Amino acid sequence: MTGMTSHLALLLDTLGSRAREQGKGLSDAVGVVGDLGRVLARGSEAEVRDVQAAVAALRERLEVGEVDNQPVKALDGHNGHAYLAGALWAINELMSAQLDVVDAARTAEPTGTRRSQVERVVLAALDGTVPRSPKDIAESPEGAAAGLRNDEISRALSGLLAAGRAEVVDPASPDTDRRRKYFRLVH
Amino acid sequence: MGGGAGRDNLTCQDGGSEAWVAGEIEELRRELDAWLTGGPLETRWLDLASALLRFCHVHRPAPAAWSLVGGEPWVTMSDLQTVVVGRLRRADGLADDEAAVSSFATIAARAALADLLPAELDRAPAWFGGDAAMGAAVVARAVAGAVDEVYGSTFVEHFHARGEHRLRVGEAYPVLPRSPAAFLGEHRPNSRPSNLPTRELTALPHLRLALRDTSVDYVLDFDSWNRLGPLGSDQSLRIAIGQPNLALDELDIHRAEEPRRYTNRGPRAPERQARRVARLAAAAGEAGADVLLLPEYTLNDDTVDHLRPLLRDLRRAPRLVVGGSCGITESGALLNEAWLCLSGTWPSVLHEVVTPPKLSPAPVDGYEENIEAGSEVRVHVGQRWTIAVLICRDAMNTDVLHQLAEIGVNLVLVPAMTSKSRSMTELVTPLLASSQAFVALVAGPAHWVRRLPEPAPARGSRVEAVFGAPYDEGPPLVELPRADDPATCPAPTARGVWIHDSAERTVRWIETELEPTEGHTD
């Protein structure tokens, strides 16, 4: 989640600017609240604390009509129902984000062993001088023996790219199909 | 994004001298540029994926363009998607399989796309023998696929927050890819409809483009999103099917000759019917059922009025009770609907929903059903369940079933009143595979006769209830009652519930007791 806290702070700041403009809709808050729920459910303590500070800063800046933007005063004011509904909606979204994490964990395929096997085969296939395409890997003796599916190879390769352990390079031979993507390990 | 905007002609990258007019490529470039240069709140991943799907539809390659060899264009598409996914994950610091946090693009993710895509767009016209349309479609679909893979789980909240979403041709709608494994215990689920090569470029795991212009309106209703959450929360889905009525004469049915029509106004004795249904709900609830499904025409307004307080008083009720109901319009026309009742954490809190009316009247014994037909199918979407209730004959509408599969419905409930329940079963069954759905169907009454003869005939010759779940092995369907199985074959005059436990893969019959004054039929 590199840079996620600064990204969320930017979104909150933009939302705050929009709130100050007359006639601007604020429905993009839907996505921002969802994002906050996910960082709460998955982020580190430091990330959550940073984001919480940004949320508080925005809330304090918002004007909510004739009453002060303090929870007790706002809830007792003319817009108390709307304030309460908004608070409950946001809490609901945060709970949904938490439950999504629970559901994802429950339905995750128990493929740790399989995933390791796929990664081993892909790493072995890339550990040479000749860059390899996903199709090369699938059709290699090791790939065929392991019965690697295309989606498994793609997932392993995108994971290696994301981790900076592999890179996309030009094919070794000029006669090679140039539509393909060729990968090699970063040493 | 890259500096190629404004060019009308691209020269073949592989050294050929042929120049192609690549309008599609430039249009895609502009589409991507417009999104990438938006403000922080204007760069929603959902918007990009939707725009790319629309692009794929508008600029879909001609049928002849698909005559390619070597697994193309899917191999190229998959390769590019792999690279885009890797770049996006790297930009956002997401580990393999780690779900994205933000539904808006970070600066780093935008930079990654801006760095990668111009070169791909430059090359794309040459990929398929000069077919720039195919090249553009492949880039668009690959990027859309990557966005869906990394950020697709954030899409639904934008729809959910609007309460409902009506499918409109050319607009994207959310799909929730769910695994049924959590509800199948030790049993393996069947295969998810795989990513087999298809010419349809407008469908992603989390998002689809509505393309059918049909006479039926489809609405995704998110109003019960949270209330549906607890269904099956203990890692099994237990569905109860109730059979409250034994013969047709327990219902207020009239036949007219000119024209030949039958009118069914529901139970003749609403108060008694409410007590029967409440007993079925109590039996199902005590047995841990999540859902109770009742036949078509089980309820009418009076019955519901009597039933409501009885359900509130139950110690333990199924979270969802669904029964066929009939309403009357202001003009006096009859509506054949279904009543859904969701109980909250506190049983006294009921959330009631009435489905849109049945789409088409059913002929029975040469008489046409006297109802005002509906034109809408409302799908109830929750965090883990997407539920469709199809009333009797509507479950035989293959267009509807096909659309529901595309929507990703994973629980289909069919209240019916028919003598032909087996043919209905055969049509609903494909949903077990096409969207890994759980299916339950009930056909009332217990005996397809106007009045029970004495003695009443044995049960088991007619399908009264069907349970289906997306198992990989063994028969996915159970049809009941089975004459050869005393545990699931009730006595001729018994009322009660069958309960299917999807994890244990068992069915049992629970008979509900008769009231002291209650005979076998009204």
d(CA B391, CA B356) in angstroms, rounded, equals 10
Inter-chain CB proximity A157 and B72 less than 8 Å: no
Inter-chain CB proximity A7 and B106 less than 8 Å: yes
pLDDT for residue B353:
94
Provide long-range contacts, Cβ within 8 A and 24+ apart, for B273-276. B273/B244, B273/B245, B273/B298, B273/B299, B273/B303, B273/B306, B274/B303, B274/B304, B274/B305, B274/B306, B274/B307, B274/B310, B275/B306, B275/B310, B275/B515, B276/B244, B276/B245, B276/B495, B276/B512
For the cut 80, the answer to whether the pLDDT of residue B15 exceeds it is no
Q: Residues B297-343: pLDDT tens digits?
A: 999 999 999 999 999 999 899 999 999 999 888 877 899 999 999 98
Inter-chain CB proximity A2 and B80 less than 8 Å: no
Residue B513 — φ and ψ, nearest 5°?
Answer: -75, 155
- Any B CB within 8 A of A48 CB: no
- State how far residue A71 is from chain B, nearest Cα, in angstroms: 23
Q: What mean pLDDT value characterizes chain B? A: 89
The partner residue sitting opposite A158, judged by closest CB among B41, B89, B102, is: B89
Give the Cβ contact number of residue A172 at 10 Å. 13
Compute CA B210 distance to the chain's CA centroid, rounded to the nearest angstrom: 15
Omega of the bond prior to B445 within 30 degrees of 0, cis? yes
- Any B CB within 8 A of A157 CB: yes
- In single-letter form, the type of residue at position B362 comes to A
**Nearest chain A residue to B232, by CA:** A103
pLDDT for residue B219:
97
The partner residue sitting opposite B104, judged by closest CB among A11, A104, A155, is: A11
Inter-chain CB proximity B93 and A42 less than 8 Å: no
pLDDT confidence bin for B198, thresholds 50/70/90: confident
Interface mutation vs chain B, best among A11, A158, A176, A177, most B CBs within 10 Å: A158
Residues of A in contact with B76 (CB under 8 A): 179-180
Q: Which of residues 49-78 of A touch B (CB under 8 A)?
A: none
Residues of B in contact with A104 (CB under 8 A): 99
For the cut 60, the answer to whether the pLDDT of residue B517 exceeds it is no
- Any A CB within 8 A of B16 CB: no
Q: Which of residues 203-262 of B touch A (CB under 8 A)?
A: 225-226, 229, 235
- Any A CB within 8 A of B195 CB: yes
pLDDT tens, residue order, chain A (187 aa): 558 899 999 999 999 999 888 778 899 999 999 999 999 999 999 999 999 999 999 988 887 666 667 888 888 888 889 999 999 999 999 999 998 888 777 766 655 678 888 888 999 888 878 899 999 999 888 888 888 888 889 999 999 999 999 999 987 777 777 788 999 998 7
pLDDT for residue B4:
34
Return all residues near A77 (Cβ < 8 A) that are at least 6 apart.
A64, A65, A66, A67, A83
Return all residues near B381 (Cβ < 8 A) that are at least 6 apart.
B156, B160, B176, B220, B221, B222, B224, B225, B228, B387
Rg (CA), chain A: 24
d(CA B163, CA B156) in angstroms, rounded, equals 11
ipTM of the prediction: 0.89
Residues of B in contact with A27 (CB under 8 A): 161
Interface mutation vs chain B, best among A38, A150, A179, A181, most B CBs within 10 Å: A179
The partner residue sitting opposite A99, judged by closest CB among B76, B82, B229, is: B229
Q: Is A67 exposed, middle or buried (0-12, 13-18, 19+ CB in 10 A)?
A: middle
For the cut 50, the answer to whether the pLDDT of residue B7 exceeds it is no
pLDDT for residue B215:
87
d(CA B150, CA B285) in angstroms, rounded, equals 40
pLDDT for residue A22:
78
- Any B CB within 8 A of A99 CB: yes
- Any B CB within 8 A of A149 CB: no
Inter-chain CB proximity A96 and B161 less than 8 Å: no
Inter-chain CB proximity B226 and A7 less than 8 Å: no
Residues of A in contact with B383 (CB under 8 A): 96, 99-100, 103
For the cut 50, the answer to whether the pLDDT of residue B16 exceeds it is no
CB contacts < 8 A (A, B): 161
